[in-house]
Amino acid sequence: MTLFNRRKFLSTSIFAGLAPLGGTEATLHEVSENETGKSKWDLDSPALCVDLDRMERNIRTAHQRLQGSGIALRPHAKTHKCPAIARMQMDAGAIGICTAKLSESEIMLENGIPDVLMTGVNISVPKIRKAMELRKKYKGFIQAVDNPQNAQDLQDAAKAAGIVADVVVDINVARRSGVLPGRPALGLAQLVDRLPNLRFRGILAYDGGVQHVKGFEKRKERNRTGMEPAVMSYDLIKKSGLNLEIFSGGGTGTYNMMAEIPGFTDVQIGSYLFMDHQYMIIGGAANEALYDDFEPSLTVITTIINSNYEKRLVTDAGSKAMTLNQPPALVIGEPDFLYNAGSDEYGTITFERASKSYKVGDKLEVIVPHCDPVVNLYDRIYGIRNDKVESVLPVLARGKSQ
């Protein structure tokens, strides 16, 4: 019997001839120069675009609506994964940004974003060491912790690195992650405060489920009751004498409700600058049918590649360009189109009525179902103003899920 020899296989098979290709892909600078000034309808599709006027208005609107409330903005970069956009948010008055993962944090810090709060926890030894390396280099990096062993591991790594690391305690209000509220949260906060190489900064409490509850008043009540365990934990920690600077959480669906939460300091608003179909249908304070606090700015340009069947079109934007999230994508100008991205490479549109007759080669503009995972599918976002490419925004944290 001949045994498989992996080393020999890799040295003699086709893999041996594979080497990194150099010089064949246009640099971002070249892409920007080639695309700037081009009509968005002339972009090779599928193309991810953001209407800059709308996005900039969304950023301003969030600050204006929270002005005087005592609530600051700490936007979540997991939505856009783009340091250039994070810088726009900081320039508009954000006190910092949030990230979900360590690799995402690294991208933001190394590209000039000074204040980064990582809302996820680092558990493995390599990640904890890497996190402390980042904290040593970037003083504005804050990490989360949700159990005593993790706190001790952070302490050991911080001591080895010769630093004092800033830490927030993540409190479980959505049965996802975080320490149990109440006494367990207090105990963890006190432990962090006692550990000499950790600095207790405050608490996190994020309920993702409440963000998409339909109906403003229903969502508001769900947010109030859902945050009660976090408020109880906040009170216990404050009464214990600990210095609690940060009480962070909330999101696009609840950003304008957080001022009613005692002690709350800043909202981790994310999707607001892009919006998507998921958020548009939850309803707002003034419109129960449509959440119109913010404008949809993120779209995908897609091309019709087949029109052979009656009342059916096929596009070049399937799940690899649009994801499988529900509700379906929205074709701008065609309210009766039902967009299905169920195939990897192809999108399928079915309809009973259309505003015009479509043919192969025609392009459509589509509002995405869920902006966060869609952005993670693209290397760049085309910044559009007056239907022309003004800038190319690199999604540098694309794929940074570690």
Give the per-residue pLDDT at 17.
33
Backbone phi and psi for residue 3, each to the nearest 5 degrees, phi listed first: -85, 145
Q: Is the CB of residue 236 less than 8 Å from the CB of residue 185?
A: yes
Give the bridge partners for 305, in sequence order. none
Mean pLDDT of 53-66: 98
Give the per-residue pLDDT at 177.
86
Which residues 6+ apart lie within 8 Å of 163 measured at CB?
Answer: 132, 135, 136, 197
Least confident of 20-24, 35-39, 105-109, 184-188: 20-24
Per the model's pLDDT, the better-predicted residue between 151 and 17 turns out to be 151
Which amino acid, one-letter code, is at 154?
Answer: L
Q: What percent of the chain has pLDDT over 70?
A: 92
What is the residue-wise DSSP string for 110-176?
Answer: HTT---EEEEEE--SHHHHHHHHHHHHH-TTEEEEE-SHHHHHHHHHHHHHHT--EEEEEEB-SSSS
Give the per-residue pLDDT at 261.
96
Q: What percent of the chain has pLDDT over 90?
A: 87
pLDDT band at 57 (very low <50, low <70, confident <90, very high): very high
CA dihedral over 360, 344, 279, 75, signed as positive or negative: negative
Give the three-state DSSP class for 218: helix
User: Which domains does the chain carry?
Assistant: 38-49+292-394 (2.40.37.20), 52-273 (3.20.20.10)
Read off the DSSP letter of residue 39: B
Separation between Cα atoms, residue 287 and residue 221, nearest integer Å: 17
Mean pLDDT of 384-395: 97
pLDDT in tens, 153-177: 999 999 999 999 999 999 999 877 8
Mean pLDDT of 326-332: 93
- Residue 139, CB-side half-sphere exposure with 13 Å CA sphere: 0
Q: How do strand 141-145 and strand 246-249 relate by DSSP bridges?
A: unpaired
The whole-model pTM stands at: 0.90
**Quick check: 106 pLDDT over 90?**
yes
Backbone phi and psi for residue 336, each to the nearest 5 degrees, phi listed first: -95, 0
**Quick check: 9 pLDDT over 90?**
no
Kindly give the residue spans of alpha helices, DSSP state H, lying in 36-124: 52-66, 83-91, 102-110
Q: Is the CB of residue 339 less than 8 Å from the CB of residue 330?
A: yes
Q: Is the CB of residue 377 less than 8 Å from the CB of residue 318?
A: no
